[in-house]
């Protein structure tokens, strides 16, 4: 979907949220509100429901273009079908959609850094820590009950479900909360992940297996999405995928591979530092939230008129300023019903960065860092992800 030059999710039948509706239907889970995948994807939930194993592998950061240009083996052979991510095109919004079947409009998770009324702080939502300063007084394991009110898909499935996650996050409060209704298995590296998936597929009986692999995302952030390191990481996954399919041949298994988002590179020369724009920063009630490619702005009283003029004067065509009302009216986060806390988690206006621009601010005491590869925005390369579907 394209609106005023933005590439937005196709919630009508072509997004990762629609994929999850299709898988929910196949597994007997209560259907999310969005429709299933469009017919041209060729995935019939009724036929899929009779398959012994349904496996969903999410490769963090695998854009459709990247796979089509640099994939190898069966991944490259089956490339071509594309889905859109959700908005914003980032892990913090997309992974909850995979694990709950909900669009961001319903789960209201809107980026890595979110202002949360529950914590009264800008919170890194995946680790559930404050952006700066000491940890919250509430133990981290108790925070999910305060912040999240959505259900997972797994508890409602008519088949056992398994979540296979990296050791670093498998036991985290966020992951444990979003894995409710499934059994969790932790793995150490890609080989261990694929062997775990293969071992589960060999167990008798119908089951749903969700596996998440973060390494391509980490590599792309650090070295850039078109770096030799990112290409090698992708090719390592493709080779491991070939071995997985070989090891589970004949098990009546439907394997899906997709991603939470794609990537672009935003070199240092294209990173706008809010420190250099004090007149803009002075109109903000709190630091920027969201992502470097889509930043949520909470305006001070009386700044609603001056802020857009200042953005236009200082940033010009490097950014589009989009109001909260426009994003909600145009269903950027998905159509209703809308979570009652969504509006409070996206500020008054959004800085939607154009081309390869990004924006960053720094809080006192915050450790400074740089990322060459970024995501969260509305470019095709960030928004479009592959859909691989193979039956063995």
Domain ranges of the chain: 2-265+379-391, 268-374
Residue with tokens 């298995």: 185
pLDDT at position 271: 98
- Tens place of pLDDT for every residue, the chain, 392 residues? 445 679 999 999 999 999 999 999 999 999 999 999 999 999 999 999 999 999 999 999 999 999 999 999 999 999 999 999 999 999 999 999 999 999 999 999 999 999 999 999 999 999 999 999 899 999 999 999 999 999 999 999 999 999 999 999 999 999 999 999 999 999 999 999 999 999 999 999 999 999 999 999 999 999 999 999 999 999 999 999 999 999 999 999 999 999 999 999 999 999 999 999 999 999 999 999 999 999 999 999 999 999 999 999 999 999 999 999 999 999 999 998 999 999 999 999 999 999 999 999 999 989 899 999 999 999 999 999 999 999 99
Longest C-alpha distance within the chain, in Å? 66
The second-level CATH assignment, the architecture, of 2-265+379-391 is: 3-Layer(aba) Sandwich (3.40)
pLDDT at position 2: 42
| Cβ-based neighbours of 242, under 8 Å, separated by 6 or more | 73, 74, 75
Class of the domain covering 268-374? alpha beta
pLDDT at position 260: 98
Tell me whether the CATH fold assigned to 2-265+379-391 matches the one assigned to 268-374: no
Please spell the DSSP secondary structure of 51-99, one letter per residue.
Answer: -SEEEEEEETT--HHHHHHH--HHHHHTTT-EEE--SSBSHHHHHHHHH
Chain-centre distance of CA 104, in angstroms?
Answer: 10
Dist CA 236 CA 230 (whole Å): 10
Tell me the CA distances in angstroms from 62 to 233, 237, 259, one per residue in order: 11, 11, 5
SS3 8: coil
Cβ neighbourhood burial of 2 (10 Å; 0-12, 13-18, 19+): exposed
Dist CA 104 CA 290 (whole Å): 13
Q: Is the peptide bond before 88 cis (omega within 30 degrees of 0)?
A: yes
């Amino acid at each position: 979907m394209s609106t005023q030059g933005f590439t937005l999710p196709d919630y009508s039948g072509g997004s990762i949220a629609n994929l999850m509706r299709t898988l929910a239907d196949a597994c007997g889970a209560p259907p999310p509100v969005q429709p299933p995948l469009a017919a041209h994807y060729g995935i019939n939930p009724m036929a899929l429901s009779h398959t012994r194993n349904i496996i969903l592998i999410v490769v963090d950061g695998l854009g459709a273009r990247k796979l089509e240009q640099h994939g190898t083996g069966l991944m490259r052979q089956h490339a071509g079908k594309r889905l859109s991510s959700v908005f914003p095109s980032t892990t913090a919004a997309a992974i909850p959609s995979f694990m709950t079947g909900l669009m961001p409009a319903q789960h209201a998770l809107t980026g890595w850094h979110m202002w949360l009324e529950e914590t009264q702080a800008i919170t890194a939502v995946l680790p559930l820590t404050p952006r700066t300063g000491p940890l919250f007084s509430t133990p981290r394991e108790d925070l999910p009950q305060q912040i999240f009110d959505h259900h997972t898909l797994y508890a409602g499935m008519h088949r056992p479900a398994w979540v296979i996650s990296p050791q670093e996050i498998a036991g985290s409060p966020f992951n444990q909360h979003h894995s409710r209704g499934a059994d969790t298995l932790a793995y150490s590296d890609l080989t261990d992940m694929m062997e775990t998936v293969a071992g589960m597929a060999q167990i008798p009986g119908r089951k749903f297996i969700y596996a998440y692999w973060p390494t391509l995302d980490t590599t792309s952030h650090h070295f850039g999405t078109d770096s030799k390191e990112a290409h090698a990481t992708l090719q390592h996954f493709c080779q491991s995928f070939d071995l997985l399919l070989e090891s589970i041949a004949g098990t009546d298994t439907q394997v899906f591979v997709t991603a939470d988002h794609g990537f672009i590179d935003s070199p240092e020369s294209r990173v706008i530092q809010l420190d250099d724009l004090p007149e803009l920063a002075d109109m903000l009630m709190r630091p920027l939230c969201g992502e470097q490619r889509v930043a949520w702005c909470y305006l001070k009283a009386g700044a609603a008129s001056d802020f857009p003029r200042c953005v236009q004067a200082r940033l010009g065509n490097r950014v589009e300023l989009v109001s909260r009302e426009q994003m909600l009216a145009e269903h950027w986060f998905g159509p209703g019903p809308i979570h009652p806390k969504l509006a409070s988690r996206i500020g008054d206006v959004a800085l939607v960065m154009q081309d390869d621009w990004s924006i960053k601010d720094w809080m006192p005491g915050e450790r400074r860092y740089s990322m060459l590869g970024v995501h969260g925005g509305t470019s095709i390369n960030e928004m479009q992800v592959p859909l691989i579907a193979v039956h063995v």
